[in-house]
Structure formats: structure tokens, C-alpha cells
Amino acid sequence: MYADVPYIKYLMENYAADPSFRERLQARPQETLQERGIPLDAEMALEACDMLCGQAREMRTPEEQNRYLQEYRAYQREIVEEYEIRIADDAFAEREICLWSRQVHRRCRMESRQIRKHGAIHYFPLLFELGDGCSVQCPFCGVDAPRWRENFAYTPENAGLWREILKRSVRYLGRVAGTSSCYMATEPFDNPDYEKFVYDFRAVTGLVPQTTTAVAERDPERIRAFMKELGPDAMGKAAMRFSIRSLRQLEKIQEIYRPDELKDIELLPNNPESLTKYSLSGRAIRLCERMGEKGREKFIRYGISCTAGLRVNLVKKTMEFIEPELPSGEYPNGYCIRETLGFADADEFETGMKHLFGTWARAELPEDRVLHFNAVCRIAEKEDCVEFWGDGVGCSLAKDEDFLRAVRIVREAASTFAEVCRTLSAQDRRALLLWQKFQYLYERGYVRWA
């Protein structure tokens, strides 16, 4: 099954990362494939690469006749489906958190057509950092990771705390806790004990967290041992990705690792010459300024964070409740921090976790919190309705006197829903009808609260 996928993957990754390879493949497909010892039909492989890398909108031959394209898409679909199961409604133990998580998903898609293009983007309710800072310091780092300072060592005491935190997370959040990654503004392999924490994670949650490393060439034997321990099943579910920071690093990785070892490892071409666009977030904002006009095409504004919920740092013993945001002056790193708590032990962690989700993960619009319209939202008052627009999508709601006045009140000055009702003297059924319309907008991300 998927016999040609390793070759297509290799071609695609080089095509996306290396402009000179791309030119060679486009100009002399047969010769280029022969040079690399790839036994594929050259024209068909080139067409598949063009499509998969977004360089062609349509194909000369019908898509269903390109078996490489079909095979690669089927392979990708299996991974996407695996993650959909992990984040499905029944993976959440708390219905309120599930509903809120769906709202965040809808809001992010409304705010950005870039996010909408990628159906497989999910927002997970939990992530862990097993270090403080990152040694790699990529110039495009979307979360502006600070320099590495310290690791969370796998001492008996720390290991006990880790397992207890995982158990309580699964008990409270449900099996969706197994979707957590163990890094954010950190490089996983900066921590010499990273693997031990991952094996505990698997033992408690039953799932292997995905790992993205930017230093796959630093200690290949360590990475090989890790891959072997995880096993082919976990590796086949995209448990591992290598971030490529330069063409030299790509060459080195392809020299170090055999094609069969790279079969299930996604290489993420993040080198400056690649086709990948950087999120205009974190350090990439400064990189974009340095590149000036020349770099304009390389950056797009979209939120980089895939967490809506807790970011737990085991070194600092902090838990932040974060939500993804479009990068802006207010949220340069693509997420906002709603509240931060510290914890000294597993009991404090559990209390803090419940407090943070209970406070911030609200499926229903709270009546006593200050409302405002989403900064991306454009509002148009029409003859018989009010339209709300995000980035290329919108909705409209029937216009009545209360609703129109309520929209104007919230636009002019942030107010709570209770204050809006008082101003309009709206009670009982009138207040309820108004609430239903604001709830509808809240569920789609047009209305937010602080």
C-alpha cells in the first residue's frame, strides 16, 4: 500500500524547498528523476508535485488519472482522519469545553481565509513545555521563542509530578488531552529527557504526541532510537516532523537518513528559498521588515497557535490560558493570554486547570462581561437586516429595533449584555430574543467578550 508515496514525498519536499531542484524538475523531469534514482513516470510525478505544492490550479490530465496524486492524497487523508478522531466531540469529557473549542475553530476560520484553506487545522485544549526557551532561534519563529535557559529534568520527583498532571488532565478533559504536544516556544530535543516524558505521556494517555524538531541532524542516533521506540504505527500517524531551516540542512538530513527512515517523517520546508509562506507573527515580523519589498510575498497574516486552552510550562510551573489570535500589534505572537496561574503540585495544577477552563472556555455569551465586536468584523446595516463580515465570509441577521440599537451601543462603547438590555429597557422575551442574536454572533466569532 502507498508504494509510490516515499518517492512522491521526496520529490515534493525537494520541490517545495529548493528552487534549483524545482527548475530542473520542470525543465528536465525524466533526467532529474533518473539522477535521483526515482522509478516514477516523470511527467505524471511532475504534475502531482505541481498540484500538491499549489503551483498549478488544474492539470493537463484529469486528476483521477494521476495515480501518484491519488495515492498521496489518500495517505494524507488517513493522517487527517486520525486527528479528527482524536479531537472529535466524544473525546471531550466536558461538553462546555468542546462547544467553546468549536467556537474558537469557527472564529479563526472566519477571521482568516488562509486558515480556511487548511481544513486540517485544529485547536487543541492543552500543551506542555518541558523547557524554558529554545536553543535554535529561527529568524521566522512565529511565537518569538526566547533563548534557552533551562530544562525540566526527569528526576523521580519531576516524573511523578508529570504523570500525575497527565492523569488529572485526562480525567478532567477526556481523551482529547492526548492531543497535547510537549513543546511550543521550545525545541523538544533541547531537553535530554524529552523521550522519557513522551513515553510516560503514551503510557498515561494512550497516544503519542506529535514532535516537530528543527535539529534533526544534531544527534541522528538519538532520533533513530526514539523513532524505533515509537514504532511504525505511531510514526505512520505523523508523530514526527523535521523543520528544515536551510538548504544545507535539507541536504544533510537526506544524507544522514535513508529514504525508508524518512518515509513517515514530514519535512517542513521552512528555509527562506522555499515555497512556504511564513506567518507574519513573532520574530517573522522583524524578518519581514528586514527583507523589505523583496520579502513581501513570503509572509501572510494568520494565527500560528494551535492551542485554545492551557499552555503549561513545567520549568516555570505556570499555566496560561491562551486563545489563538490573528497576529497584530496587540497580539504579536498570534495568541492572547487570558490569565496566568502558578502551581506547586498536582493538586494546585488541577484546581488551576478547572478554574481557567471554567472562567474562559464559555460556550454561552456571559451577560456580565464586556462585549465587543471582533476587530476583523465589518458591519453593514441594510434595509431589512444587519450584515457581519469576516475575511471573505459573513452572515446576516434580521433587523429589528432592539437589535439595531444594541449593535450600535456595543459598537460605540464596550458594554455588557446586561447593560445593553438596561439601556433598551429590554426584559423577558425582548431580552431573550436579543440574547439569541448575540449568542449566534458569538458562536461564529463576530462578537467577543473581555
Closest CA to 174 of 101, 238, 107, 232: 101
User: Which grid coordinates belong to 41?
Assistant: 513516470
C-alpha dihedral (372, 373, 379, 384), degrees to nearest 10: -70
Q: How far is CA 346 from CA 205, 208, 351, in A?
A: 17, 22, 9
Asked if 276 is part of the footprint of ligand SF4 (rule: CB under 6 A), the reply reads no
The type of residue at 116 is: R
Closest distance of CB 135 from ligand SF4, Å: 8
The angle, 0 to 180 degrees and rounded to 10, between the axes of the packed helices 19-27 and 42-52 is 140
Q: In the complex with ligand SF4, which residue's Cβ is closer, 51 or 214?
A: 214
Give the residue from 103, 113, 54 showing the smallest Cα distance to 302: 113
Contact residue for ligand SF4 among 45, 115, 138, 326 (CB under 6 A): 138
Closest CB to ligand SF4 among 154 and 242? 242
Q: In this structure, are residues 94 and 173 in contact, taking their beta carbons and an 8 Å threshold? A: yes
Q: How many whole angstroms separate alpha carbon 98 and alpha carbon 88?
A: 9
Beta bridge partners of 388: 379, 395
In whole angstroms, the minimum distance from the beta carbon of 12 to ligand SF4 comes to 22
Using the structure block, give the residue that is written with the C-alpha cell 478532567: 172
- Site size toward ligand SF4 (CB under 6 A) is 9
Which among 110, 130, 109 has a CA at the least distance from the CA of 120?
Answer: 109
Cα Rg, the chain, nearest whole Å: 24
Among the listed ranges 15-23, 120-128, 130-138, 305-313, the one in contact with ligand SF4 (CB under 6 A) is 130-138
Which span sits near ligand SF4 by CB under 6 A: 71-79, 131-139, 161-169, 394-402?
A: 131-139
Of 173-202, binders to ligand SF4 (CB under 6 A) are 185, 187
Q: By CB under 6 A, tell whether 304 contacts ligand SF4.
A: no
Which is closer to ligand SF4, CB of 141 or CB of 406?
141
Q: Is 267 in the site for ligand SF4 (CB under 6 A)?
A: no
Q: The C-alpha cell of 435 is what?
A: 440574547
Reduce the DSSP state of residue 262 to 3 states and report it: helix
Work out whether 141 is an interface residue with ligand SF4 (CB under 6 A).
yes
Candidate ranges 52-60, 136-144, 154-162, 435-443; the one touching ligand SF4 (CB under 6 A): 136-144
Instruction: Pick the stretch among 87-95, 134-142, 358-366, 417-425 that binds ligand SF4 (CB under 6 A).
Output: 134-142
Q: Look at strands 266-269 and 240-244 and give their pairing.
A: parallel
- Closer residue to ligand SF4, CB minimum distance, 101 or 181: 181
Find the binding residues for ligand SF4 in span 204-233 (CB under 6 A). 214
Decide whether 179 or 270 has the Cβ nearer to ligand SF4: 270
Compare residues 133 and 352 and give the one whose CB is closer to ligand SF4.
133
Residues forming the site for ligand SF4 (CB under 6 A): 134, 136-138, 141, 145, 185, 187, 214
